[in-house]
Each structure stands twice: as C-alpha cells, then as structure tokens.
Amino acid sequence: MISLTRGLAKNVTLGLTYHHMKPIKTLSGVADHSSGSGNYQRLLKTDLSVSF
C-alpha cells in the first residue's frame, strides 16, 4: 500500500492510495480463484477533502 496526500489550497486536500494485492492461498496451497481470475489486483483510491 502506498498513500500520498497533497494540499491543493487553503482548505482543500487530495489523497491517493494505491493497493497491490496478490491472491490468497487456501490451506492446500492453491490460490482461490472463486473471486476472479486469480491474478494480482490493483486498486487506486482518490479522496478530495474540502473543509470549511
């Protein structure tokens, strides 16, 4: 996970969070493909915060 927050203006911030996830292995040692292709997954989240 990588997270970055940057102030854009006096009361405005922009946040970015990046997740890089690998498949979970079951007790038998085999990757669980029930929730998708079993490949690595990537997620990018953005947050724009305005306070007043």
Q: Which domain holds residue 17?
A: 1-23+38-52
DSSP one-letter code for 36: S
Report pTM: 0.61
Structure confidence at residue 29 (pLDDT): 61
If one counts the domains in the chain, the total is 1
Structure confidence at residue 22 (pLDDT): 85
Tens-binned pLDDT, residue by residue, of the chain (52 aa): 999 999 999 999 999 999 998 877 767 666 555 555 557 889 999 999 999 8
Is residue 2 in a domain?
Answer: yes
Q: How many CA atoms lie within 13 A of 22 on its CB side?
A: 4
Residues with Cβ within 8 Å of 34's Cβ and at least 6 positions away in sequence, in order, are none
Is residue 32 in a domain?
Answer: no
